[in-house]
Amino acid sequence: MKAPPFRYHAPEDLASAVALLAQYENARVLAGGQSLMPMMNLRVAGPDHLIDLGRIADLRGIEETPQGLRIGAMVTQRALEKSELVARACPLLSEAVTHVGHQQTRNRGTLGGSLCHLDPGAELPVAAAALDAVLHVVGPARARDIAFADFPLDYLTSSLAPGEMLVHVTFPRADRRSGAAFLEFNRRPADFAIVSVAVTLTLGAEGVITQATIAIGGVSHAPVRLAQVENSLMGARADEAAFAGAAALAALTPCDGDEVYPADYRQELCGVLVRRALVIAAARAGGPAHV
Amino acid sequence: MSEGHEAGGWIGRSAARVEDHVLLRGGARFLDDIVMPDLAEATFVRSPLAHGLIRSINCEAARALPGVHAVYVFADLRRVLMQDYIPQALPAGGLRFDVDPPCLAIDEVCYVGEPVAMVVATSRRIAEDAAALVELDIEALPVLVDPVEGLQQGAPKVRLSCPDNLVARTKVDYGDVEGAFEGAAHVVREQFRLNKGGGHPMELRGVVARHDEITDQLTLWNSTQMPHRAKALLVASLGLAEHQVRVVTPEVGGGFGTKAVFHPEELAVPAAALLLKRPIKWVEDRFESFTASSGEREQIWTVEGAFDADGRLRGIRGTLVYDHGAATPYGIALPFNAATNLIGPYILPAYRMLIDLCLTNKTPAAPTRGAGRPQGTFVMERLLDRMALQLGLARDEIRRRNMIAPAQMPYTIPVKQRDGSLMVYDSGDYPQCQVMALKAAGWEDFPQRQKEARKQGRFIGLGLANYVEATGRGPFESVSISVGPSGQVIVSSGATAQGQGVKTMLAQVVAQVLGVAPETIHVVVGDTSATPAGLGAYASRQAVTAGNAAFAAATLLANKAKIAASELLEAAVDDLVIRDGVVEVKGVPGHGKSLTQIARALAGTPGFALPGNLPPGLSAASDFMTSGLSYTNGCHLAEVEVDPDTGGVKILRYVVVHDCGRMINPMMVEGQILGGVIHGIGMTLFEWMRYDREGQPLTVTLADYLLPTSDVVPRLEILHLESPTPLNPLGVKGAAESGTIGAPATIISAIEDALRPLDIRVSQLPLTPPQLRRLIRAAQASEMVA
């Protein structure tokens, strides 16, 4: 379990990092290293050049902007977890990040690393999907924004072009009347999710749902937004019947399966977790605590 | 024991562990901490196929890589080996043929991970770079993964050289089994499939081999549980004289059976060091350990139990198929342990279990903590739960009705064991053990709590299981003690330490007799040069064997000290006691000779006589030879909560009442129980070494093979009974594996209880959430039909 040979670069600023990434063939950026380093040690990944982003201060900020919270790609998961600003403006992200690995791995693991690595069981991409996060990337020629919905392409593969890297991510501020919930099922609390669910609900007058987003992780190569379920909830009263109906629809989500966690089991979890998450989100949105 | 020996008061005390000031402050030397000039590092090229014939191995590119010292295949190492195969078979009745492995594959590979070639380089990193350049050409052969299929006509052969896959056939058979079933009021039938797991110590295996040309001695530092056996195999395999081979075990970060059996790398590395004339280190990494290190637990049972109308056992019969993997490094002990441990603390008048051991194209099977016993206990306890349910009896009541009473001790079961003796339970109060456990866990009130929880939509259940464990397997362990002129007390033993506190155990026993503080005693274990004969760590044995040897040796040394002191003090031996390391006249504190003074006197002065004309040296040695196995027992209760919608299980409480006879250090006993239960939780809910149909392992990282983390382990509540065994002077029994043995049966009993009235029957371990969901769905469907 030793990595194959590689050259290590530690640029001090973003421009140098982008230049190095453009300069070298088979180069990878290193964020917190919680996935890339094990993959290299298992010789599943073998970059010739590793560009460590750890010294670039510009990638570490959490700021409020008119568009929402702008969070640097190198902000650690532990910093997200402890940020009062994130808890206030983006409670779903705060809740999701507590499910990521162990405290020790969250000290190293980063927001950008998790989003770009796109493990199917990872939590932060699911939150990003539910929140319609926008990713700001830079490359040798230009900078551009990518909606999270357009970001995952395939298993562990994003739409970052060669030479591009993630700089920061904008998460819209949560609506004052909204509630969010993140739930997952796994065997041990620190594991990747077998299925995870991120929900936001906004309630209008008399507990009518005016906005709903539901994203599910663990069922496919990337998080899935349940647009049909979201639509079914719009205008409905946030009550048990509505949530049961939503859960029944969610349980039809096409899922990948394997020998241990077959597709039909994951579908069951989709239904169970969506129902539970909707109940919690509705309560947090100011609806009845037990609907 | 005489009064003087009691004065120390160290036995029975939860004394601080003498090894901890080193272990906890980072001062310990584990295998990988060993460095020396010119030390090369090795890695192994392992078979990527579960079965195949080696056509060619091309090492040219690997050898050409800068930093590579050598790349060896079997033919290279054979130059220093006495024979092709490691002569490690244990004698075992029922074995049809031995399958000893070679240290590198010769022409046939029989499991993924089997070592095929070995790269030695200036660093592990370079060795791995070179290993990736070794080109293997292996012709694939048909693969056998399932042991039940392996026994069928026309099954693929696991090894072309073996006549078939049935490597051994044995049985446990006594009483009138047919009669038991003919007259039975009730019969329950079950099938169980218990899957493969492993020991997975935090520190994996590793060796450093160095041949010293000046002394012509080969030293092997080896992270092993059995250094003396490793030495014997090296002597036999390398054709060296006994004095030329020394095996030293540094601090070991866990064994759990994984390090009991001798593995091919333990021979390949020293053979390579002889050829290369350079010291070599190999440290197993986590990835390779999943296929390179032995594991076990895969058993398929078809079993039926015959009961009287009142739930008393009349007999049990069935078949047990055991997955032995691709070799037989450890005889057939494991399924035999399983079959005999099924009997547990119960009266079983008639019993026949036919045991077939099948080779498969998987890593060879060898002990994992519990060594077959958890499975046997699981089967018996599941049968009892089934029968109780069918009869409408409480689960504790059916057990009480079948239990061996304390008045029946010693209790003989007509089953012959490995050493030819019958199974004899030596001591214990099984009914009282269960009574205490039920009380501690709130058994009486539980139905009410369960009902209230159900009203809140929570499904909680309480499970219980009783078990015994044969501990303290012989034939012997040895201890020598010396007090030198410096006054230092040195204790040497063939016992070995893996972190469980063996040094503390030995120091406390010696301290008890000599009246010195344990932390002042130097304990040397795991060094074949310090102790010529020894066996090491297996079968929960070291407190029994080495503990009693230490007690006997310390007593001999104390007696010698008293005789010498009587001469020096001009007092009668009977008037002397040992207190705080001083031999003094009873009732006259301060009038005495310290062990240091006596040791100096016995070291001799040129021209002067030794005191009392005693033989020189304040030292003594003793071997403790076992006269039988001592049976530890326990009762476990677990409270769980099941989420019926997800199949998730959470263990809320865990109670153990444990009886391992007299305890030397209760804190260390509880540490063993805790660790054992955690292994049992793993076996029940998490750990599953999976293979696909081609024998490719599917769980080769700790992300895929799930160990129980602290998140899923409840706080244990442990209570003790102490039924001293009459089989040894200290009255102690083993405690190392007992926690594991009770856990699977207990947890599954609790899960089934949580879901009642649904009739859930768990017949596979580990139980995963999807499997539990499947069982719940099926039970709900059949309930709706009913």
Express each pLDDT in B572-584 by its tens digit: 999 999 988 999 9
Task: Find chain A residues with C-beta within 8 A of B773's C-beta.
Answer: 265, 268
Closest by Cβ to B770, choosing from A191, A262, A272: A262
Distance from CA of A43 to the nearest CA of B (A): 10
Tens digit of each residue's pLDDT (9 = 90 or more) over B156-208:
999 999 999 999 999 999 999 999 999 999 999 999 999 999 999 999 999 99
- Note whether B780 contacts A: Cβ–Cβ < 8 A: no
Optimal mutation site among B129, B288, B645, B706, interface A, most CBs of chain A within 10 A: B645
Kindly state whether residues A137 and A204 are assigned to the same domain. Answer: no
Distance from CA of A172 to the nearest CA of B (A): 32
Residue B685 CA neighbour count, 13 Å, CB half: 26
- Note whether B128 contacts A: Cβ–Cβ < 8 A: yes
Optimal mutation site among B134, B773, B774, interface A, most CBs of chain A within 10 A: B773
- Cβ contacts of residue B204 below 8 Å, gap of 6+? B223, B258, B283, B284, B285, B286, B289, B293
Tens digit of each residue's pLDDT (9 = 90 or more) over B549-559:
999 999 999 99
Residues from A in contact with B at Cβ < 8 Å = 1-5, 38, 42-43, 185, 187-192, 194, 259-262, 265, 268-269, 272
**CB–CB contact A185 B708 (8 Å):** no
**CB–CB contact A191 B686 (8 Å):** no
Which residue does chain A place closest to B772, by CA atoms? A265
pLDDT at B89 > cutoff 90: no
- Note whether B645 contacts A: Cβ–Cβ < 8 A: yes
How many CB pairs below 8 A link A and B? 59
pLDDT at A290 > cutoff 80: no
Into how many domains does chain A fold?
Answer: 3
pLDDT at B70 > cutoff 50: yes
Kindly state whether residues A115 and A185 are assigned to the same domain. Answer: no
pLDDT at B216 > cutoff 60: yes
Task: Find chain A residues with C-beta within 8 A of B703's C-beta.
Answer: 191-192
In sign, the C-alpha dihedral spanning B709, A183, B648, B639 is positive
**CB–CB contact A260 B768 (8 Å):** yes
Task: Find chain A residues with C-beta within 8 A of B768's C-beta.
Answer: 187, 260
Over residues B389-409, the mean pLDDT reads: 97
Tens digit of each residue's pLDDT (9 = 90 or more) over A129-152:
999 999 999 999 999 999 999 999
Confidence of residue A162 (pLDDT cuts 50, 70, 90): very high
Which residue does chain A place closest to B644, by CA atoms? A272
Closest by Cβ to B287, choosing from A42, A187, A260: A42
Task: Find chain B residues with C-beta within 8 A of A189's C-beta.
Answer: 709, 711-712
Closest by Cβ to A1, choosing from B287, B690, B708: B287
Confidence of residue B398 (pLDDT cuts 50, 70, 90): very high
| The pair of three-digit structure tokens given for residue A103, joined into one six-digit string | 């405290």
**CB–CB contact B769 A265 (8 Å):** yes
Residue A117's CATH number: 3.30.465.10
Is there a domain that residue A41 lies in? yes
Is there a domain that residue A290 lies in? no
What's the rounded Cα separation, in Å, for the pair A155 and A40? 18
Q: Which range marks the domain in which residue A267 is found?
A: 178-284
- Note whether B711 contacts A: Cβ–Cβ < 8 A: yes
Selected residues 744-773 of chain B with any CB under 8 Å from a CB in chain A: 768-770, 773
* pLDDT recorded at residue B68: 98
Kindly state whether residues A15 and A89 are assigned to the same domain. Answer: no
Share of chain A above pLDDT 70, in %: 98
**CB–CB contact A185 B128 (8 Å):** no
Closest by Cβ to B770, choosing from A4, A42, A261: A261
Distance from CA of A192 to the nearest CA of B (A): 9
Task: Find chain A residues with C-beta within 8 A of B709's C-beta.
Answer: 188-190
Is there a domain that residue A136 lies in? yes
pLDDT at B17 > cutoff 90: yes
Kindly state whether residues A162 and A66 are assigned to the same domain. Answer: yes
Optimal mutation site among B32, B122, B128, interface A, most CBs of chain A within 10 A: B128
Kindly state whether residues A94 and A163 are assigned to the same domain. Answer: yes
Tens digit of each residue's pLDDT (9 = 90 or more) over A63-115:
999 999 999 999 999 999 999 999 999 999 999 999 999 999 999 999 999 99
Tens digit of each residue's pLDDT (9 = 90 or more) over B21-50:
999 999 999 999 999 999 999 999 999 999
Degrees, nearest 5: CA angle B420-B729-B373: 45
Distance from CA of B45 to the nearest CA of A (A): 13
Task: Find chain A residues with C-beta within 8 A of B647's C-beta.
Answer: 265
Optimal mutation site among A2, A43, A196, interface B, most CBs of chain B within 10 A: A2
What's the rounded Cα separation, in Å, for the pair A232 and A223? 20
Least confident of B682-691, B727-736, B776-785: B776-785
Which of these, B333, B411, B403, B317, lies nearest to B368 by C-alpha position? B333
How far out from the chain centre does Cα B434 lie?
25
- Note whether B529 contacts A: Cβ–Cβ < 8 A: no
Over residues B420-446, the mean pLDDT reads: 97
Kindly state whether residues A196 and A275 are assigned to the same domain. Answer: yes
Kindly state whether residues A163 and A222 are assigned to the same domain. Answer: no
Optimal mutation site among A40, A187, A240, A273, interface B, most CBs of chain B within 10 A: A187
Alpha-carbon distances, residue B137 vs B53, B58, B116, B697 (angstroms): 9, 8, 11, 20
Alpha-carbon distances, residue B659 vs A86, B383, B630, B719 (angstroms): 53, 24, 11, 9
Task: Find chain B residues with C-beta within 8 A of A247's C-beta.
Answer: none
- Cβ contacts of residue B600 below 8 Å, gap of 6+? B485
Confidence of residue B589 (pLDDT cuts 50, 70, 90): confident
Is there a domain that residue A231 lies in? yes
Degrees, nearest 5: CA angle B747-B751-B754: 135
* pLDDT recorded at residue B333: 87
The SS3 call for residue A268 is: helix
pLDDT at A291 > cutoff 70: no
Selected residues 185-214 of chain B with any CB under 8 Å from a CB in chain A: none
Residue A223's CATH number: 3.30.390.50
* pLDDT recorded at residue A288: 52
Least confident of B108-122, B248-262, B322-336: B322-336
Is there a domain that residue A289 lies in? no
Kindly state whether residues A22 and A73 are assigned to the same domain. Answer: no
Over residues B699-712, the mean pLDDT reads: 95
Is there a domain that residue A245 lies in? yes
* pLDDT recorded at residue B6: 41
pLDDT at B1 > cutoff 80: no
Kindly state whether residues A67 and A41 are assigned to the same domain. Answer: no
What's the rounded Cα separation, in Å, for the pair B569 and B70? 66
The helix or strand, by DSSP H or E, that contains position B477, with its residue range, turns out to be strand B476-483
Kindly state whether residues A25 and A67 are assigned to the same domain. Answer: no
Confirm if B650 and B713 have CB atoms less than 8 A apart.
Answer: no
In sign, the C-alpha dihedral spanning B438, B439, B445, B449 is negative
**CB–CB contact B645 A262 (8 Å):** no
Kindly state whether residues A89 and A151 are assigned to the same domain. Answer: yes
Domain ranges in chain B are 3-28+474-625, 425-469+629-786
Closest by Cβ to A185, choosing from B132, B648, B698: B648
Q: List residues bridging with B246 in a β-sheet.
A: B219
| The pair of three-digit structure tokens given for residue A228, joined into one six-digit string | 């049909």
* pLDDT recorded at residue B4: 38
Which residue does chain B place closest to A195, by CA atoms? B646
Does residue B589 have a cis bond before it (omega within 30 degrees)? no
| The pair of three-digit structure tokens given for residue A11, joined into one six-digit string | 């640029």
Task: Find chain B residues with C-beta within 8 A of A259's C-beta.
Answer: 690, 698
* pLDDT recorded at residue A287: 62
Query: Crossing angle, helix B769-785 and helix A263-284, to 10 degrees?
Result: 90
Helices then strands, each counted (H, E), chain B:
21, 31
pLDDT at B92 > cutoff 80: no
**CB–CB contact A187 B686 (8 Å):** yes
Where residue A207 falls (left for φ over 0; alpha for ψ -120 to 50; beta otherwise) is left
**CB–CB contact A185 B132 (8 Å):** no
pLDDT at B5 > cutoff 70: no
Kindly state whether residues A27 and A82 are assigned to the same domain. Answer: no
Is there a domain that residue A110 lies in? yes
Q: List residues bridging with B716 in a β-sheet.
A: B654
Over residues A248-270, the mean pLDDT reads: 97
Please determine whether the domains at B3-28+474-625 and B425-469+629-786 fall in the same fold group of CATH. yes
Which CATH number is associated with domain B3-28+474-625?
A: 3.30.365.10
Find the radius of gyration of the CA atoms of chain B. Answer: 28
Alpha-carbon distances, residue A167 vs A12, A35, A111, A129, B172 (angstroms): 14, 19, 11, 18, 68
Is there a domain that residue A1 lies in? no
Kindly report the average pLDDT of chain B as a whole number: 95
Distance from CA of B67 to the nearest CA of A (A): 13
* pLDDT recorded at residue A289: 41
pLDDT at A206 > cutoff 90: no
| The pair of three-digit structure tokens given for residue B517, joined into one six-digit string | 């503080």
Going by CATH, does the domain composed of B425-469+629-786 fall within 3.30.365.10? Answer: yes
